[in-house]
Amino acid sequence: MLVPSNLTELLERFRQALRHQYEHRGVVVAPAHLIETYPEMRRSYRAVERTRYRQQREQLRALVDLGSLRLDPDETERLLANIALVARFWLAEYRTTHYRHAIDEVIDHYLALIAGLLDPYASESGAAELTPYLAAMIKIPDGEP
C-alpha cells in the first residue's frame, strides 16, 4: 500500500473511492441488507473492513509523520470511524437530499465533509491543503422541498 505524501493526495484517493462507489452503486447502496441476508458476505465484508481500517490508519500515521496532521491514537480511531460513516452512507444521503446535483458536485460535497473531519487535526501546512476542499459543501436553500 502506498501512503499518501500529503492531504491532497489522501483526499484525491477518497475522490476515486467515492467515484467507484457511485459507479457500482447497485451493490453499495444495500450493504446492510446483503450482509444480513448472506452470512458469508458478512464474513467477507468484515475482513475487507479490517483491511481498510488498517490501511487508512497507516495512511493517517504517515501524514502525522510528515507533519500534515497531529493525531494521537484515540483521535485516529475516532477520525477513522467518522470517515467510515461518511464513506459508507453518502450514497443514501445523495439519493434523498442531493439528487438534483451533478455527481461531481456531490462527490466534492462529501470530500468537503471528510476535509472538515481532518481539519481540526491539520497542521498549518495541512490546513492550507484542505482549504479548497472545504469550500465545496452543497448548501440546502431554505424552503427547498
Per-residue model confidence (pLDDT) at position 109:
96
| Whole-angstrom distance, CA of residue 123 vs CA of residue 125 | 5
144 pLDDT exceeds 60?
no
- CA angle in degrees (0–180, nearest 5) for 22-28-29: 95
Using one digit for the tens of pLDDT, what is the confidence trace for 67-97? 999 999 999 999 999 999 999 889 988 988 8
| Whole-angstrom distance, CA of residue 77 vs CA of residue 107 | 24
The residue type found at 24 is H
- Are the C-beta atoms of 7 and 69 separated by less than 8 Å? yes
Banded pLDDT at 27 (limits 50, 70, 90): low
| Whole-angstrom distance, CA of residue 54 vs CA of residue 124 | 26
Burial of 26 (0-12, 13-18, 19+ CB in 10 A): exposed
* pTM, two decimal places: 0.88
